[in-house]
Amino acid sequence: MNESHAVTQVSFEFFPPKTEEMEKTLWASIERLSVLSPRFVSVTYGADGSTRERTHAAVARILKDTSLTAAPHLTCVGASKSEIDEIARDYWDMGVRYLVALRGDPPKAPAGNAQQYTPHRDGYAYASDLVAGLKKVADFDISVAAYPEVHPEARNARADLDNLKRKIDAGASRAITQFFFDVDRYLRFRDCCAQAQIETAIVPGILPITRFPQLQRFAEQCGATVPGWLHERFQGLDDDPDTRRLIAASVAIEQVRLLKKEGIDEFHFYTLNRSELTYAICHALGVRAEQAAA
């Protein structure tokens, strides 16, 4: 397939900061990346609604102090339908038009192990139910999650695909994938979505690698594969942050270049509240401040 000449669109994910120092890093990153005119910037929501107030505060500041489109995450965990609907109405009244709707992860047990997900007795059971409920509250533009390597709790790939279709049919506008490093795996997943008559955009989620051990933990939690060649690239660089950044940038730039050759013209970046790598990758994609301003 020839490389796409369509305008490349990007979106960025941030998480609400816990400390004053983290808050400074977050807002410096938002300021740096805002010149790239993202479609939206999402703000995550902790397990069991544990960051609810901080998520809300971050969204409110984005709306007040920037021209960016904020997309708060909402989950099914730890809240009744009426509570979630009230949060959604408050967001709509604030001017929020984009949401990211997720089932969400249950809080960890005291020993640190993940608990089995159990739907809230009075809540939305799964993400497809949440999407349908949110669309009844207001005409939000809703993004949902997709898993090129299958959700770790899914029975199989077919069941996972059926679940994605339910979310799209409930009213979601796009699916954003979990991060991945095997481009061919993403392309096969995109083909499977098309065969299942999922016609919405399947936006690749890109995770720039800031620290390799952290990446390995994330991958274990979500069932993503870390290829052997990636281990080799980062081997021996634990105490060499400058070389790590160079390798991380080259890995992600090659990934998005291959995806763009296959006609992909929208990307979602898991920034981890850092701007440097994401900015560099966007520059390589051709997403630049002067073009965004034009």
Residues 181-207: pLDDT tens digits?
Answer: 999 999 999 999 999 999 999 999 999
Residue carrying the six token digits 């709306």: 63
What residues are annotated to the active site? 13
Q: Per residue in 84-107, pLDDT tens?
A: 999 999 999 999 999 999 998 776
| Cβ atoms within 10 Å of 117's Cβ, excluding its own | 14
Distances (CA, A) of 78 to 57, 75, 100, 123, 145: 19, 8, 17, 8, 19
pLDDT at 179: 97
Name the fold adopted by 9-293: TIM Barrel (3.20.20)
Q: Per residue in 49-79, pLDDT tens?
A: 557 889 999 999 999 999 999 999 999 988 8
Query: Do 175 and 131 touch, CB atoms closer than 8 A?
Result: no
**Is the pLDDT reported for residue 25 higher than 80?**
yes
Q: Per residue in 284-293, pLDDT tens?
A: 999 988 655 5
d(CA 181, CA 16): 26
Q: What is the mean pLDDT of residues 100-118?
A: 73
Stronger pLDDT, 168 or 1, i.e. the higher one: 168
Among the residue ranges 8-22, 111-125, 140-154, the one predicted with the least confidence is 111-125
Q: Which ranges in the chain belong to alpha helices (H)?
A: 20-34, 52-65, 81-94, 127-137, 157-169, 183-195, 212-222, 228-234, 241-261, 276-285, 289-293
**Is the pLDDT reported for residue 246 higher than 70?**
yes
Helix-helix angle 241-261:276-285, to 10 degrees: 30
- Six-digit token pair at 95? 């001017």
Residue 250: which pLDDT band, with cuts at 50, 70 and 90?
very high
Q: Per residue in 34-56, pLDDT tens?
A: 999 999 999 998 755 557 889 99
Query: Do 45 and 91 touch, CB atoms closer than 8 A?
Result: no
The size of the chain, in residues, is 294
Residue 123: which pLDDT band, with cuts at 50, 70 and 90?
confident
Q: What is the mean pLDDT of residues 115-136?
A: 89
Q: What is the mean pLDDT of residues 8-23?
A: 95
Query: Do 64 and 94 touch, CB atoms closer than 8 A?
Result: no
Q: What is the mean pLDDT of residues 141-150?
A: 97
Domain boundaries, the chain: 9-293
Residue 1: which pLDDT band, with cuts at 50, 70 and 90?
very low
**Is the pLDDT reported for residue 234 higher than 60?**
yes
- Six-digit token pair at 254? 């090659």
